[in-house]
Amino acid sequence: MGSTGGGTGGGTRSAPDATERARPDRTGREADPYAEEAAAVRAGLVREIVASGGLTDPTWRAAFEEVPRHLFVPYYYETGEAHEAGGGAAGAGEVRGERAAAGGEAGGTGVVVAGGARGTVGCTRLWRDDSHPLRRARWLAGAYADAPLATRVRDGELITSSSQPSLMAQMLQALQVRDGDRVLEIGAGTGYNAALLAHRLGDAQVTTLDLDPEITDAARNHLAAAGYRPAVVTGDGARGCPSHAPYDRIIATCAVASVPPAWLGQCGPDALILTPLATGLIALRVADARHAEGRFLATPAYFVPLRGSGPPPQVPTYGLPSRPLLDDSFRFLLNLAAGQMEPVEALALWEHEGRPGRERYGVTVRGERQWAWLDDPEGAYGWPLGPPGRLQPYD
């Protein structure tokens, strides 16, 4: 999960996908030499997520127990400071989302240098077909760590990653799917999230969409290797996928600054849209093609943005003391109200209202109008939402 799902790309081709080279067994599926070992470490990951309270639904627990994540990440990148890259990876990236992982299209030693928003980082590729057994073991262990994994970078920009599994579990449970629901996923990523959905609902009920044909080709290959065949469509995420509509649920794995109208128009009555927005996750209940409303989940979520809207500006922080900037709930408000409030006004509101968490905020869509609000859609605090990609999250 976690590609941008819309816009344009360009640059170098990605490293060849290991699933494209593996020989199939007699069933037509890829013969997996890691199946037994992977099952053991996957069980450990599921136990970890359950222990943290992030996986309470038994049907979703079964999906995480049975869908092999390692087939969806035949290679990925660990990142660190450039001067550390030659000595190995520095870490698997930030937790709770997808924005931290960054990498490059590596060859040779698997160490590349890429420019990112926070400066130059060194990226080490871990690969399932590495000739060194210790590096292969490290790849498999990382595939089942509760951490996001960078899987594709183009021109120094993170294009695709596999989200932190515990965050995926929270999002899938919050989607509140029922048997027979039709689901559209915006942002195909590696295909892993689509496989979890297909395990729960069946292949015919799931469509996953991404603009980049390299991403959709790789996701389709990964899904087939794992034994799943949902619809994988190449197209602009902001436009949805009308040919497979209507949908009972839409889940996005890329951040938007406002809700694309096409999504509402492709929903059936009482559908639910779950999408990252302003470093949070908004769950919108759809009344009809022009009306929806809902609240944010309590959890933080940092995702790569929906592409195609140009480079977003930074969220302003001028005039603010350093202490509130360390508080995640205040940074969320800065992102949500950026362009509508001065930073010092946002600070005064946040302190006056008791430092509210994400769950006190919501979003309303009424025709051409969209706005975020605190506590009440008609209350004292509301901020118009801009076009997709308008904001650069502050963290």
Residues identified as active-site: 163
Determine the Cα–Cα distance for residues 181 and 188; give it in Å rounded to an integer. 19
Distances (CA, A) of 218 to 59, 63, 236: 27, 21, 17
Strand partners, 294: 284, 363
| Crossing angle of the two packed helices 328-337 and 343-352, in degrees rounded to 10 | 130
Determine the Cα–Cα distance for residues 127 and 19; give it in Å rounded to an integer. 12
Backbone phi and psi for residue 198, each to the nearest 5 degrees, phi listed first: -65, -35
* Strands, sheet with 157-162, edge to edge from the N-terminal-most edge strand: 111-116, 119-127, 75-81, 149-154, 157-162
CA contacts within 13 A on the Cβ side of 310: 4
Strand partners, 92: none
Residue 377 tokens read as 């859609």
Residue with tokens 């004292």: 380
Residue 387 tokens read as 């076009």
195: Cβ contacts below 8 Å, ≥ 6 apart = 67, 72, 222, 223, 226, 228, 230
Q: Are 78 and 105 in contact (CB under 8 A)?
A: no
Cα-atom radius of gyration of the chain, to the nearest Å? Answer: 20
Closest alpha carbon to 303 in 82, 93, 146: 93
Determine the Cα–Cα distance for residues 372 and 386; give it in Å rounded to an integer. 10
Pairing of strands 119-127, 111-116: antiparallel
Closest alpha carbon to 75 in 124, 115, 120: 124
Closest alpha carbon to 343 in 334, 332, 354, 352: 334
Report residue 326 CA to chain centroid gap. Answer: 24
Strand partners, 275: 282
